[in-house]
Amino acid sequence: MNNCSFPTYLTMAIFCLSIGVSAQGTATLTSAPTVVQTASKVIDAWHLAAADADFDQYFSLMTKEGVFVGTDAGEHWENKAFKSFSKPYFNAGKAWSFTSLERHIYHNDSAVWFDELLDTQMGICRGSGVLELEDGQWKIAHYVLSIAVPNNQVSKLLELKKAQDSISIMRLKGLKQ
C-alpha cells in the first residue's frame, strides 16, 4: 500500500517541474557563448574582407538594408550608397584595415550589439554596431565608426573643427526646416 499523501506528491511534482525549468534556463545560458563567438567571427571576417579588399565578401556580411556611419558628419550610408562610395577603394585593392583591440558583445534572441576599439590607419577608433539574423545568418545591420579622442586633447580637436562644424550645423538645421 502507498503511504505518500497528496501534499507529498504535489511537493515532488513541483520539485521535478522546477528542475525541468531550471534545466531549460541553463540550456539558454550555455548557448549564449555560441552567439557571442559567431558574432565575433562575423565581425572579424567583415574587417578582414575590407583589409583584403574583397568587396563581395564584405557586403555579403551586411544585411540588405545595412547602414554604415563614418567618422565625417556627412557619412551616413545605406547599403546601396555605401557600395557605390566604397567600390573604388575595393577596386584599387586598398579599402581599410581595422583590427579589433577590444570588443564587447551583447545579445538577446533577435539581435546582437557590440562596441569595439580598433587599430586603424587613423589610430585608435571606436566601432559599434548591430547584427541581425538574415536568411539564418548573423549579419551587420548597422555600424558606426568614430575616432577615439583622448579627453585631454578634446579642446584642441574642437578648435580644429569649429569652422567646419558651424557650416555643417547651419546646413543640417536648414534641412530640418
Per-residue pLDDT reduced to its tens digit, 74-90: 999 999 999 999 999 99
Per-residue pLDDT of 88-111, as tens digits, reads 999 999 899 999 999 999 999 889
pLDDT value for 177: 59
pLDDT value for 31: 52
Q: What is the mean pLDDT of residues 50-68?
A: 98
pLDDT value for 5: 53
Instruction: Round to the nearest angstrom and report the end-to-end CA distance of the chain.
Output: 85
Q: Is residue 118 within 8 Å of residue 126, measured between CB atoms?
A: yes
Which band of pLDDT confidence, cut at 50, 70 and 90, is reported for residue 11? very low
Q: What is the mean pLDDT of residues 43-50?
A: 98
For the chain, percent of residues with pLDDT exceeding 90? 76
Domain count, the chain: 1
Asked, for residue 25, whether it belongs to a domain, the answer is: no
Asked, for residue 8, whether it belongs to a domain, the answer is: no
Q: What is the mean pLDDT of residues 132-149?
A: 97
pLDDT value for 32: 67
Average pLDDT of every residue of the chain: 85
- Whether the predicted pLDDT of 121 surpasses 70: yes
Asked, for residue 149, whether it belongs to a domain, the answer is: yes
pLDDT value for 163: 94
- Residue 110 belongs to domain with CATH number: 3.10.450.50
Asked, for residue 20, whether it belongs to a domain, the answer is: no
- Give the separation between CA 28 and CA 35, rounded to whole angstroms: 11
For the chain, percent of residues with pLDDT exceeding 70? 81
Asked, for residue 97, whether it belongs to a domain, the answer is: yes
**Nearest-CA neighbor of 129 among 42, 7, 3?**
42
Look-up: residue for cell 584599387? 92
**Nearest-CA neighbor of 98 among 43, 30, 33, 172?**
43
pLDDT value for 25: 34
Asked, for residue 10, whether it belongs to a domain, the answer is: no
Asked, for residue 21, whether it belongs to a domain, the answer is: no
Query: Which domain covers residue 103, as residue numbers?
Result: 32-176
- Which residue type occupies 28? T
Q: Is residue 147 within 8 Å of residue 71, measured between CB atoms?
A: yes
pLDDT value for 109: 86
pLDDT value for 175: 78
Our measurement of the distance from residue 4's CA atom to the centroid of its chain's CA atoms, rounded to an integer in Å, reads 56
Q: Which stretch of DSSP H or E encloses residue 25?
A: helix 6-51
- Whether the predicted pLDDT of 164 surpasses 70: yes
Q: Is residue 61 within 8 Å of residue 112, measured between CB atoms?
A: no
Q: How is residue 151 annotated by DSSP?
A: G
Bridge-partner residues for 53, per DSSP?
none
- Give the separation between CA 158 and CA 74, rounded to whole angstroms: 17
